[in-house]
Amino acid sequence: MRLDDSRESDNVEDRRGSGPMIGGRGTIGIGTIVLALVAMYFGVDPRIVMELAGGGAPTQQQQAPARTPPADDARARFVSKVLGETEDTWTQLFKQFGNTPYVDPKLVLYTGATPTACGSGQSAMGPFYCPADSKVYLDMSFFDEMKQRFQAPGDFAQAYVIAHEVGHHVQHLLGISGRVDQLRRQNPAQANALSVRLELQADCFAGLWANRADAARHILEQGDVEQALNAASAIGDDRLQKRSQGYVVPDTFTHGTSAQRVRWFKRGLESGDIKQCDTFGASQL
C-alpha cells in the first residue's frame, strides 16, 4: 500500500500494556466470556452472547486513561493511517448521501483483553466493533495470526480487516445494524442468517472503501487486491470450521463462506457504489 502521504488519524486509543481491567457495575463476567468463546467455536457470533448478557445496553467498566500510540511504533502508525483513509473516504461518501454527517469511530489497540461497552473484549474473538461505544477493538497479534495460521499476509490484508470493522460502524450510523438487532430479537432462529448478511455487507463496504480511496489518493499497489481476496477467503466460515473441526455446519455460519466473502468484497471494490452492497435485498449471496 502507498500510505506515505496518508494522514494519521487522531482517533486511535492505545491500551496496550494496561492489562485487562474487568469490573464495575454492569460488566460482563468471566462466565459470559467463556460462553462467548464456546459460541465462537460452534460458529455463533460471540458478540450476540455478549450483547444478550449485557442486556443490549452500554455498561460501566473500569479502564485506563486513553493515550495515543508512540510515534516510533510503525505498526500503530500503519493502523492510524488506514483509519485516517477510512475517515476521509466515508466522510466524503456521507456528504453525498446528504442525510447525516459521518462521525469517526475510535479504534482501540489492546493486548489480550479490554473492557468495552459491549462486555469484555478478548483477543481470541479477533477484531470487532462495539456499537454501544462506537469503537473498533484490535489486538494486533491478530495480524500475526493472519500471516502464520491463515496464510493471509500483507499490509492490504490487514487494511481490509480494519475497513471491514469500520464497515460495521457505517452500518451502525445508517441504522442497518439496529434494524438487524430488532429482527434478531423478533426471530431468533434467523439470527445467524442475518449475521451473515450483515458481515457480507461489511465486506462489500470494505471493498467500496478501497475503490474510493484508491481513486482519490492512489493507495493500492500491485498485489494488494490479491492480498485482500486471500484474507477474505481465509476467514470464511466454511474454511474456518473445516480447519478447526474437520467438517462444516452451514446453519451455524455467521460471517459467510469464503466464496461469499470474496464475492461481496469484489462487488464493492469493482463498483465503488454503496447501492451494490445491499446484501439484505439479494436473493443469492
Better-scored residue on pLDDT, 275 or 235: 275
pLDDT at 31 over 80: no
Inform me whether the pLDDT recorded for 45 exceeds 90: no
pLDDT for 280 equals 95
136 phi/psi in degrees, rounded to 5: -95, 135
Q: How far apart are CA 272 and CA 285, in angstroms?
A: 18
Sheet hosting strand 106-109, strand order edge to edge: 12-14, 106-109, 135-138, 128-130
Please tell me whether the overall predicted TM-score, pTM, comes out greater than 0.75 for this model: yes
Does 285 score more than 70 pLDDT?
A: yes
**pLDDT value for 242:** 76
Tell me the mean pLDDT in the region 58-72.
65
Give tens-digit pLDDT for 113-133. Answer: 999 999 999 988 899 999 999
Looking at every residue in the chain, the average pLDDT score rounds to 85
Residue 151 confidence (pLDDT) above 50:
yes
Percent of the chain past pLDDT 70, that is, above it, reads: 83
Torsional class of 175: left (φ above 0), alpha (ψ -120 to 50), beta (otherwise) = left
Instruction: Please report which confidence band the pLDDT of residue 69 belongs to, taking 50, 70 and 90 as the band edges.
Output: confident
Q: Which among 167, 119, 179 has a CA at the least distance from the CA of 277?
A: 167
Kindly report, residue by residue over 161-213, the tens digit of the pLDDT.
999 999 999 999 999 999 999 999 999 999 999 999 999 999 999 999 999 99
Check if the beta carbon of residue 26 is closer than 8 Å to that of residue 119.
no
pLDDT tens profile 205-235: 999 999 999 999 999 999 999 999 999 998 8
For residue 72, what pLDDT is reported? 86
